[in-house]
Structure 1
C-alpha cells in the first residue's frame, strides 16, 4: 500500500494548522496565495485520507501533569501483543511503540507527581510477560511538537 500523495500546498496547510488549529481557511488561503475554496477542498481531502486529524492539544503542565518517564520494556515475545494491550489500558501511559534491539517496547508515562510515577512503575511491573524495565525519568521537556513539515 503506497502512501497518499501530498504536495507543497497540502504541507503548507498542515503546517499552519499544526501551529494554530483554529486558523481560518481565509487566513491560510491568504498566507498560501490561493483561494479559500482551494483550502477548504484540500482540508476535506486531508481529513478523508486520514492524513490530518484535528484535535485539541493539552499543555500537560497546565493541567498538573508534572512528572514523566520514558521506559524501555523487555517482553516475552510470545505474549508481546498482550503486554501492549495491557499497557494501553493504563491511563498514565500516553505513548507506546514497538522497537528493535534488546528491548521490544518503549512507553512514555505522564502523571501529576513523582509519587504517582512510582505507583505507575509498580503497576507496570505487575504486567505478565514483562522481563525487564529500563526507566529514564524526564526532568524537563525542551521540545514537544506535532509539526512534521
Structure 2
C-alpha cells in the first residue's frame, strides 16, 4: 500500500496524541472528517497504523525492564523470533545485524520473574545459542513521533 501526503500527515497528527479528534485533524489537513476516519481505518487494517495507550511499565508496578541481545543458530532466526514474540513478557522483538541476531525488550514483575523467563524459557527455545541481558534502570524517553514527514521528504528527493 502506497502512502500519499494525506496518509503521512494523518499518521504524523496521531503520533503525539492518538486520541486527537478526527474533526480537528480534518481541519488541520484541509479534508473532511469522513476522509480522516476512512484513512485511519484503512491504515489500521493494513497494519500500518496502530493507536494504543502507552504506559511506562516501571511507573505502573512492573519492577524490571530489560533488553536482551540474543544469538541464534544459523537458519533458525525466523523460528526463534516467532517463539520469542509469543512470550507474554516481550514488548519488542527485532532481528538485527551486528553482535547479536535479535534484540528483545521484556517487562517483568521482579528479578525472580526475569530469571525464570531468561533461564527456563528463553534459553530453552530451539535455536537460541546465547543471550546477554541489559537491565533498564530508568526510561528517559519513550517517543513514537519520529517524523513521518521527514520520510516523505526523503522519498520525494529520490
- The alignment's TM-score, normalised by the length of structure 1, stands at 0.80
Per the TM alignment, residue 92 of structure 1 is displaced from its structure 2 partner at its CA by 0.9
1:102-133 Cα shifts (integer Å, max 9, x gaps): 32111111112223222222122232332221
Separation in 2, partners of 1:110, 1:101: 24
Which runs of 5 or more residues in structure 2 are unaligned? 148-158
Question: Are 1:31 and 2:28 an aligned pair?
Answer: yes
Which runs of 5 or more residues in structure 1 are unaligned? none
Aligned equivalent of 1:20, options 17, 32, 46 = 17
Separation in 1, partners of 2:85, 2:38: 35
1:110 aligned residue: 107
Aligned equivalent of 1:127, options 125, 128, 136 = 125
* Contact in 2 for aligned 1:4/1:49 (Cα 8 Å): no
Kindly tell me: are residues 71 and 117 of structure 1, through their superposed partners in 2, closer, same or farther at Cα, counting changes over 3 Å?
same
Separation in 1, partners of 2:114, 2:84: 15
2:142 aligned residue: 144
2:3 aligned residue: 5
* RMSD over aligned Cα atoms: 2.3
Separation in 2, partners of 1:79, 1:44: 35
Kindly tell me: are residues 65 and 97 of structure 1, through their superposed partners in 2, closer, same or farther at Cα, counting changes over 3 Å?
same
Deviating beyond 6 angstroms after TM superposition, the runs of 4 or more aligned structure 1 residues are none
Separation in 1, partners of 2:134, 2:45: 38
- The alignment's TM-score, normalised by the length of structure 2, stands at 0.76
Separation in 2, partners of 1:24, 1:12: 14
Separation in 1, partners of 2:78, 2:38: 39
